[in-house]
């Protein structure tokens, strides 16, 4: 199903459940080939993508993400905003099932997105008054373009940063190069349900 730009922007929600239809390598390559036209500072295109197929690596990724998910759920249960400024809160983790992590072996496509920090202009990196954020402008448009490009092929997906909180454990798993940060993990596949309308604040 091919959507017009306006429809794609208004209906590309987070998809966390997929059919069992496989997604072939040519389709993944086509999605990434389109997404590479995303803007980045200085047109440096500082991204690297790992297409994770090995079931053992996928399971290890899920094991790294699961405690982060439980901590996230614990913060929500306590009525707190999780990980503000990257900090944990004084609330016990809550073990809530996560179908996406529990079934990671069956997700059609798992992508790990890294960014080369030596090719990003971190304009707010020396302020010292808050954590830097604007460097994300050189990587997250690419991530979002992956999700938009997937729509053209009848696919949906979700971007998560849970694994980034466990980056030290993910580095050897993914072969993350020196000076790279794990910006996102993206899951793609044919949606079990395709949203036709999203709810947002005015």
In 26-175, DSSP assigns E strands to 47-51, 109-116, 156-160
Return the pLDDT at 40: 97
Neighbours of 197 (CB within 10 A): 7
Q: Mean pLDDT over residues 123-148, rounded? A: 95
Using CA atoms, how far apart are residues 41 and 18, in angstroms rounded to an integer? 34
Dihedral class, residue 197 (left if φ above 0, else alpha if ψ from -120 to 50, else beta): beta
Q: What is the pLDDT, as a whole number, of residue 167? A: 97
pLDDT of residue 2: 61
5 CB-near residues (< 8 Å, 6+ apart)? none
Indicate whether 148 pLDDT > 60. Answer: yes
Q: What is the mean pLDDT of the chain?
A: 93
* Lookup result for tokens 């790992």: 50
Helices (H) and strands (E) in the chain, counts: 7, 4
State the average pLDDT over residues 153-174: 96
Average pLDDT over residues 151-176: 96
Residues contacting 23, CB < 8 A, separation 6+? 108, 109, 153, 155, 188, 189, 190
The answer, yes or no, to whether residue 130 has pLDDT greater than 80, is: yes
Provide the pLDDT confidence category of residue 177 given band limits of 50, 70 and 90: very high
Q: What pLDDT is recorded for position 171? A: 97
Q: Kindly report, residue by residue over 72-105, the tens digit of the pLDDT.
A: 999 999 999 999 988 888 899 999 999 999 999 9
Is 70 exceeded by the pLDDT of residue 146? yes
Higher pLDDT, 2 or 155: 155
Entry pTM: 0.93
Indicate whether 12 pLDDT > 90. Answer: no
Sign of the four-CA dihedral 184, 194, 202, 69: negative
E strands, the chain, are 47-51, 109-116, 156-160, 180-189
Q: What is the average per-residue pLDDT within 31-45?
A: 97
């Amino acid at each position: 199903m091919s959507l017009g730009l306006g429809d794609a922007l208004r209906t590309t929600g987070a998809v966390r459940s997929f059919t069992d239809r496989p997604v072939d390598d040519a389709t993944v390559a086509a999605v990434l080939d389109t997404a590479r036209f995303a803007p980045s500072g200085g047109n440096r295109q500082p991204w690297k993508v790992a297409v994770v197929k090995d079931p053992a690596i996928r399971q290890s990724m899920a094991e790294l993400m699961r405690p982060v998910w439980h901590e996230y759920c614990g913060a929500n249960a306590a009525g707190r905003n999780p990980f503000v400024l990257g900090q944990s809160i004084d609330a016990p983790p809550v073990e809530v099932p996560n179908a996406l992590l529990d079934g990671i072996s069956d997700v059609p496509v798992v992508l790990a997105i890294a960014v080369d920090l030596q090719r990003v202009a971190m304009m707010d990196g020396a302020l010292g008054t808050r954590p830097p954020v604007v460097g994300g402008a050189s990587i997250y448009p690419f991530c979002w373009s992956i999700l938009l490009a997937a729509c053209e092929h009848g696919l949906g997906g979700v971007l998560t940063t849970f694994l980034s909180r466990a980056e030290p454990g993910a580095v050897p798993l993914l072969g993350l190069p020196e000076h790279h940060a794990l910006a996102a993990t993206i899951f793609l596949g044919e949606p079990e349900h395709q949203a036709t309308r999203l709810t947002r604040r005015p």
